[in-house]
Chain A
């Protein structure tokens, strides 16, 4: 292959790529993240290519399917470079107009622009859109420019420059010193200082050492790692090669969830391209350093995101966690020293090397440096991936970037840290987002899921949901985790069914403490967090469920009823036809009635009732009892 491939060659390639791209001044980038995929971005990109060919413009306009732009809510997203014109929710029928108007006549197509919901102002440029304005996209920003399946795109944007610098101008110790000075902490959840971790592993004497990229992003509601791997896989690979050089590892693994087929595909392709170029393998860039990367597909077990379980999984075993110490840095995979970092952590590395530890450490707070990518999801207007500097206020994320709560509902809580995290209530909106503050509030940074909940979310149900999850995913090794989480689910389920008693809260607290104390790995140690924080901040909702047998958020099926308001119903027969159990009676233009004894509370009637009629309501507590009494009186009369 390329024996003489070296750093100068890489520079030459970079220059050549930039030169060849100068001719194509305009580039239409179409977001190719999983969200936009589902909206049909591939067809949009194809249509652009066809239209450009038809008009014989292929030499001056480039169409590129890029990584995720983050603003998933508005997909499919198209950005026209170099101007940065931002078109959202673009459809096949819009393609011709974009080419003829925007590209040729340099006019903006107004209806495709993003409209600020409050001021109704149309916004032209991507960077002016409020969703992006307060973000600091140092890791994620390049996603929008890079075709992840083409290594040249990454190289053109100074890709693998950090690797050259490290291999030829820095010793391993200097690299570690730089990472330490930057203040980078692990982005997987626990926040251990990365430089320190590397140093420990480096100092262990061993013939073989391994490094791992943990891309087993199991937290429900978190998908930033996937977007990085899909959208900019080379930044992660470059980070890994640099890490391997610093630690002295010869083999690396990327452990990626099989639930992310596109990420598996893109990262596999990226590793092949890197190998082909000679940036992996023997004598990288002509230096004495050798390193290789294998891809490992996970097999659907949440616990394998835990480091010792993940290693057991790569070894081909059940993903059971191990007692620590010994830590993986001393005895990891196959008993050899192993360093494991999360996707986002690795992606930070080339940036720190290129721009310097000092530049990096200026971003963020005293103890939490740099940026963090969150997936802002749930009952929020602007769902998507946001990269913000550490120390930003929760309020800024939810209202300025996220655009507030959907349908003007009231904000109730935000859940961070996945099943290990907790819920943060409205009075903590001014919380600074950093490792310490989140832990103090009873939650944690976690991998970066941020699920927004509004007044229609029942916090007892949410706690039950998470415990159901951890109970299912507990590997079963430690008894308190295996049996304790099951007990928690049973108690919580009882409460949501209106069968809780007043001692249950005490039981939940005691049990939670035992599970925390008696579990080996983070799954068990943190599993009770959702219960503890919801009791701490939303105790009144538990009380309502237990004492009044009511669900204030109108979620828990056993505590609510559906009712058709006689004064609103127009008798359109829609709900009647859609009721799966024929519980609704009535005639055209006459008020419909739900038979509460037959009703299974599926919500189909509420779903189909036209919004301008909205005759179906949900009731709980006293009101529910009154309606039920009235109904039974009427039945008796008949």
Chain B
């Protein structure tokens, strides 16, 4: 019995790795991935659901084309990050954690990206924008929209 236990434990260990991989591939965790992982690892879907909703890294809905992440670390907070996030929320018309209706932008917050010298920081599609001023919010959104225009 112990052997079976230890083997099943090993499989369980793969769960978070697999979720990471699915998240990376699809940008979210699609429902059929959950059933597939469930069959593969012999873990109930409800347990997988429990695990993936526990961690912030996994999303159940697809994100927008552009991901804007605002750092809310302490250093950014004391340097005015709340004003920056308010401005993004106003300009995009969504709350943090949401995606715009046209699926262009997703606005998220993160606890700290560890680039505190640059606070307050906004990360737009992987590009760090340090020492953000409120008026730069619009510039970032416009720039992303312009790129979007070029692509299509």
In terms of DSSP, what is the predominant structure of the interface of chain B?
A: helix
Judged by a CB distance under 8 angstroms, whether A260 is at the interface is yes
Number of interface residues of B (CB under 8 A): 46
B130 touches A38 (CB 8 A): yes
Given contacts A37-B128, A221-B73, A316-B16, contact A578 B116 (CB under 8 A): no
**How many Å lie between the Cα of A259 and that of B72 in the bound state?**
13
Chain B residues near A43 (CB, 8 Å)? none
Given contacts A314-B13, A318-B54, contact A220 B73 (CB under 8 A): yes
B150 to chain A, nearest CB (A): 22
A38 touches B51 (CB 8 A): no
Chain A residues near B13 (CB, 8 Å)? 314-316
Judged by a CB distance under 8 angstroms, whether A226 is at the interface is yes
A423 to chain B, nearest CB (A): 11
B39 to chain A, nearest CB (A): 16
Chain B residues near A73 (CB, 8 Å)? 117
Chain B residues near A604 (CB, 8 Å)? 87, 134-135
Given contacts A299-B57, A449-B74, contact A377 B118 (CB under 8 A): no
Judged by a CB distance under 8 angstroms, whether A383 is at the interface is yes
**How many Å lie between the Cα of A300 and that of B108 in the bound state?**
13
Question: Looking at A223, A314, A415, A462, which has the most chain B CB atoms within 10 Å of its CB?
Answer: A223
A317 touches B111 (CB 8 A): no
Chain A residues near B87 (CB, 8 Å)? 580, 602, 604
Given contacts A299-B55, A334-B6, A602-B83, contact A451 B75 (CB under 8 A): yes
Question: Which residues of B55-111 have CB atoms within 8 Å of chain A's CB atoms?
Answer: 55-58, 72-75, 77-80, 83, 86-87, 90-91, 110-111
A607 touches B9 (CB 8 A): no
The answer, among B17, B115, B135, for a CB contact under 8 Å with A607, is B135
A229 to chain B, nearest CB (A): 11
In terms of DSSP, what is the predominant structure of the interface of chain A?
A: mixed
**How many Å lie between the Cα of A75 and that of B131 in the bound state?**
13
Beta-carbon nearest neighbor of A458 in chain B: B78
Chain A residues near B14 (CB, 8 Å)? 316
**How many Å lie between the Cα of A68 and that of B135 in the bound state?**
31
Judged by a CB distance under 8 angstroms, whether B114 is at the interface is yes
Chain B residues near A400 (CB, 8 Å)? none
Judged by a CB distance under 8 angstroms, whether A217 is at the interface is yes
Chain A residues near B121 (CB, 8 Å)? 38
B134 touches A379 (CB 8 A): no
Question: Which residues of A451-507 have CB atoms within 8 Å of chain B's CB atoms?
Answer: 451, 453, 457, 462, 465-466, 469, 473, 475
**How many Å lie between the Cα of A466 and that of B110 in the bound state?**
14
B88 to chain A, nearest CB (A): 11
The answer, among B58, B78, B118, for a CB contact under 8 Å with A457, is B78
Judged by a CB distance under 8 angstroms, whether A278 is at the interface is no
Beta-carbon nearest neighbor of B5 in chain A: A334
Beta-carbon nearest neighbor of A227 in chain B: B114
Given contacts A465-B77, A580-B90, contact A334 B116 (CB under 8 A): no
**How many Å lie between the Cα of A451 and that of B72 in the bound state?**
13
**How many Å lie between the Cα of A302 and that of B72 in the bound state?**
14
Number of interface residues of A (CB under 8 A): 60
The answer, among A38, A219, A378, for a CB contact under 8 Å with B112, is A219
Judged by a CB distance under 8 angstroms, whether B145 is at the interface is no
Given contacts A318-B51, A379-B79, contact A260 B114 (CB under 8 A): yes
A607 touches B16 (CB 8 A): no
Judged by a CB distance under 8 angstroms, whether A403 is at the interface is no
**How many Å lie between the Cα of A301 and that of B134 in the bound state?**
29
Question: Which residues of A64-92 have CB atoms within 8 Å of chain B's CB atoms?
Answer: 72-73, 75
**How many Å lie between the Cα of A259 and that of B112 in the bound state?**
8
B128 touches A221 (CB 8 A): no
Chain B residues near A35 (CB, 8 Å)? 115, 117-118
A607 touches B20 (CB 8 A): no
A374 to chain B, nearest CB (A): 12
Judged by a CB distance under 8 angstroms, whether A512 is at the interface is no
Chain B residues near A377 (CB, 8 Å)? 74-75, 116-117, 119
**How many Å lie between the Cα of A580 and that of B57 in the bound state?**
33
B114 touches A378 (CB 8 A): no
A233 to chain B, nearest CB (A): 16
The answer, among B12, B17, B20, for a CB contact under 8 Å with A317, is B12
Beta-carbon nearest neighbor of B10 in chain A: A334
**How many Å lie between the Cα of A451 and that of B119 in the bound state?**
12
B115 touches A223 (CB 8 A): yes
Judged by a CB distance under 8 angstroms, whether A571 is at the interface is no
**How many Å lie between the Cα of A37 and that of B118 in the bound state?**
11
Chain B residues near A299 (CB, 8 Å)? 16, 19-20, 55-58
A378 touches B78 (CB 8 A): yes
Q: What are some 13 contacts across the A-B interface (CB < 8 A)?
A: A34-B115, A35-B115, A39-B130, A258-B57, A260-B114, A296-B17, A300-B57, A301-B54, A301-B55, A302-B111, A316-B16, A317-B51, A608-B134
Which chain B residues have a beta carbon within 8 Å of chain A's beta carbons? 6, 9, 12-17, 19-20, 50-51, 54-58, 72-75, 77-80, 83, 86-87, 90-91, 110-119, 121, 128, 130, 133-135
Additional A-B contact list (7), CB under 8 Å, known A223-B112, A334-B9, A607-B133: A34-B115, A221-B116, A226-B114, A259-B113, A300-B57, A316-B13, A316-B15
Which chain A residues have a beta carbon within 8 Å of chain B's beta carbons? 34-35, 37-39, 72-73, 75, 217-223, 226-227, 258-260, 296-302, 313-319, 334, 375, 377-379, 383-384, 415, 418, 449, 451, 453, 457, 462, 465-466, 469, 473, 475, 578, 580, 602-604, 607-608
Closest A-B pairs by Cβ, 10 of them: A223-B114, A300-B56, A72-B117, A299-B55, A38-B128, A220-B73, A377-B116, A383-B117, A316-B15, A220-B112
